[in-house]
Amino acid sequence: TLFGFDDFEEKRKEGSTYHAAAPENLFQFMKSIGVSHECFASPLNCHFKSFCSAFPDTDGVFGSCGSFFSFFPTEGSYEVGPPYTEEVMERTATHCISLLESSSSPLSFVVFVPDWRNPLQECQRVMEESSWTVRHFVAQGKNHAYLVGDQHLPGKQGEHFVLPFSTHIYVMQNEAGKKKWPIDDNFEKEMLSLLSDAAAR
């Protein structure tokens, strides 16, 4: 039954700018390091057929793997864009670290969070102090854009919004992941360029 779906969807709409999606061309580029799954998405706001979402009871029939926090991959490459609430972002960082610690197969996460440093939020402290973080960099505020979270609604398809604050991108990998999907200066440069291109549209 879809009872309650409207309420769930209303919550999604209310947070459409706080849980938006990376631009399509960025997802295409991330395929170069094997990314094929979104760890925070919904059936109406996803790029890949494989995704995790907050409402497995309604989203399961559309292909959701359930909550990211109940998802325990041992290999693969993943895009991680949690909602911008500090508790969820901190839990996301620790879950990624736990998964990396538990696997010897190639495993990689590209994590997007707001760059909140006054004071420094806990999820960023955790990732910046982690030995699993192989690279991190910043897309400056007012110079990059995301797809709106309610892009599935009429008139919203392909609509972008420019973020007023900076986004910090963390690439976290285990040793096997680093060998399979090496991250270099060109990766960082291309990621920032694609985010900036979206803001210019």
Residue 112 CA: distances (Å) to CA of 7, 62, 136? 27, 24, 10
Cβ proximity of 115 and 165 under 8 Å: yes
How crowded is residue 138: how many other Cβ atoms within 10 Å of its Cβ? 13
Which residue type does 138 have?
Answer: V
pTM recorded for the entire structure: 0.84
Euclidean distance between CA atoms 189 and 29, whole angstroms? 12
pLDDT > 70: percent of the chain: 83
| Backbone torsions φ then ψ of 14, nearest 5 degrees | -60, -30
**pLDDT value at position 8?**
41
Domains in the chain and their CATH numbers?
5-199 (3.40.50)
SS3 assignment for the chain: CCCCHHHHHHHHHHCCCCCCECCHHHHHHHHHHCEEEEEEEECCECCCCEEEECCHHHHHHHCECCCHHHCCCCCEEEEECCCCCHHHHHHHHHHHHHHHHHCCCCEEEEEEEECCECCECHHHHHHHHCCCEEEEEEECCCCCEEECCCCCCCCCCCCEEECCCCEEEEEEECHHHHHHCCCCHHHHHHHHHHHHHHHCC
pLDDT-derived band at 153, boundaries 50, 70, 90? very low
Please determine, for residue 10, whether its predicted confidence score (pLDDT) is greater than 50: no
**pLDDT value at position 150?**
45
- The pLDDT tens digits for 25-55 are 999 999 999 999 999 999 888 899 999 998 8
Please determine, for residue 18, whether its predicted confidence score (pLDDT) is greater than 90: no
Euclidean distance between CA atoms 176 and 182, whole angstroms? 10
If one compares 57 and 132, the residue with the highest pLDDT of the two is 132
Average model confidence (pLDDT) across the chain:
86
